[in-house]
C-alpha cells in the first residue's frame, strides 16, 4: 500500500493524533486500540513527547497501581487528554456504556462505565470516538447516561468533551451551546450523508472542509514503529485492522 492509499482506520488514527499535538500527558483506557495508536503516533512524531500511559500495556505505562494511579493523576490535573467510546453517544455528548433499553431491565448489556464519568469531569480534553457512524450509534438521546457531556454552570468541572471522531466525519463540541458542530467530512461523504446517518441535531457551517488525508510520514509510522508498538498491546487489532504481522 502506497502513501497515497490509506485505510479508514489509518485516517482516524491520524485525525486523533493531530488533536494531541502539544499536550503533556495522554492516558488511554484498557480497551482503546485506535486512540492508543493515535497517542503513540503523536509521541513518535514529536520525539518522545507527550507522555503516554496505556493502561493495558507494560511497555507504555509508568503506573504501578493501575487505574487508581490514573484517577489520582486526573484529580491532580496531570492528565491532558483521554478517550471515550460508547454504545450510544447523543447530541449533548452524553455517553452510554451500560446498555440498551429501560434500566435496569436492559435488552442489551454493554461492558460498563468503570471510571468514565469520573475522568469525563476531570480531564480537559476528552476525545469521543465511534468508528460506526449510524443512527444506531449516534442517537438523539442515549438510553442510559454513563457519563454526562455537560453539567450545570454552577458545578465545577474542568473536564469535558473536545471532539467526536467517527468513520464519516469530525465533530467539535461547543460547550456554550452544548451541542456538536460539524468540523470536517471524510472523503466520500457529504453533509447530506452525515445528516442522514446522524440521530442528533448538530450545527453546520455554510462550507464544511474535507478531512485532510494522513501524511506520508504518519502512514510510514503507523505501518512501522507505531504498528509494532500497538501490536504489542493489541495484537488482534494490529493483525486484523492494521494488517500488521
Express each pLDDT in 147-186 by its tens digit: 999 999 999 999 999 999 999 999 999 999 999 999 999 9
d(CA 113, CA 96) in angstroms, rounded, equals: 8
d(CA 216, CA 123) in angstroms, rounded, equals: 31
In this predicted model, what pLDDT tens digit does every residue of 4-42 receive, in sequence order? 689 999 999 999 999 999 999 999 988 899 999 999 999
Q: Is residue 68 part of a domain?
A: yes
Q: Is residue 94 part of a domain?
A: no
User: What pLDDT score does 12 carry?
Assistant: 97
64, pLDDT greater than 70: yes
Q: Is residue 173 part of a domain?
A: yes
1, pLDDT greater than 70: no
- CATH code, domain carrying 79: 3.40.1080.10
Beta bridge partners of 65: none
Question: What's the domain range around 77?
Answer: 8-87+115-137+149-240
Q: Is residue 106 part of a domain?
A: no
Q: Looking at the 3D structure of the chain, how many domains does it have?
A: 1
Per-residue confidence band for 60, with pLDDT thresholds at 50, 70 and 90: confident
User: What pLDDT score does 31 carry?
Assistant: 82
Per-residue confidence band for 62, with pLDDT thresholds at 50, 70 and 90: confident
In this predicted model, what pLDDT tens digit does every residue of 176-230 receive, in sequence order? 999 999 999 999 999 999 999 999 999 999 999 999 999 999 999 999 999 999 9
- C-alpha cell recorded at residue 190: 457529504
Q: Is residue 108 part of a domain?
A: no
Q: What is the H or E stretch that residue 125 is in? A: strand 125-130
2, pLDDT greater than 60: no
User: What pLDDT score does 47 carry?
Assistant: 84
d(CA 13, CA 41) in angstroms, rounded, equals: 8
User: What pLDDT score does 233 carry?
Assistant: 87
Q: What is the H or E stretch that residue 52 is in? A: strand 51-54
**What pTM value is reported for the model?**
0.95
Per-residue confidence band for 243, with pLDDT thresholds at 50, 70 and 90: confident
Reference 145, options 104, 90, 219, 205; nearest CA is 90
186 three-state secondary structure: coil
User: What pLDDT score does 111 carry?
Assistant: 86
> What CA dihedral angle connects 7, 9, 14 and 15, to 10 degrees?
110
The residue to which cell 488525508 is assigned: 213
Q: Is residue 95 part of a domain?
A: no
> Cα–chain-centroid distance for residue 213?
18
Q: Is residue 181 part of a domain?
A: yes
Q: Is residue 64 part of a domain?
A: yes
Amino acid at each position: 500500500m502506497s502513501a497515497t492509499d490509506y485505510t479508514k482506520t489509518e485516517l482516524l488514527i491520524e485525525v486523533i493524533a493531530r488533536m494531541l499535538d502539544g499536550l503533556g500527558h495522554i492516558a488511554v483506557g484498557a480497551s482503546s486500540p485506535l486512540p492508543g495508536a493515535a497517542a503513540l503516533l503523536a509521541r513518535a512524531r514529536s520525539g518522545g513527547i507527550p507522555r503516554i500511559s496505556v493502561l493495558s500495556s507494560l511497555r507504555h505505562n509508568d503506573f504501578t497501581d493501575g487505574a487508581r494511579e490514573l484517577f489520582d493523576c486526573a484529580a491532580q490535573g496531570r492528565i491532558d487528554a483521554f478517550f471515550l467510546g460508547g454504545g450510544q453517544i447523543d447530541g449533548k455528548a452524553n455517553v452510554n456504556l451500560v446498555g440498551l433499553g429501560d434500566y435496569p431491565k436492559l435488552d442489551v448489556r454493554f461492558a460498563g462505565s468503570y471510571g468514565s464519568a469520573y475522568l469525563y469531569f476531570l480531564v480537559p480534553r476528552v476525545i469521543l470516538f465511534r468508528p460506526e457512524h449510524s443512527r444506531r450509534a449516534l442517537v438523539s438521546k442515549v438510553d442510559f447516561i454513563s457519563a454526562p457531556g455537560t453539567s450545570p454552570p454552577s458545578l465545577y468541572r474542568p473536564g469535558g468533551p473536545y471532539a467526536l471522531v467517527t468513520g464519516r466525519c469530525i465533530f467539535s463540541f461547543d460547550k456554550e451551546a452544548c451541542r456538536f458542530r460539524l468540523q470536517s467530512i471524510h472523503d466520500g461523504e457529504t453533509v447530506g450523508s452525515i445528516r442522514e446517518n446522524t440521530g442528533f441535531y448538530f450545527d453546520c457551517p455554510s462550507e464544511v472542509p474535507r478531512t485532510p488525508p494522513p501524511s506520508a510520514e504518519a502512514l510510514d509510522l503507523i505501518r512501522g514503529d507505531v504498528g509494532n508498538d500497538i501490536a504489542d498491546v493489541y495484537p488482534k487489532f494490529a493483525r486484523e485492522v492494521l494488517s500488521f504481522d
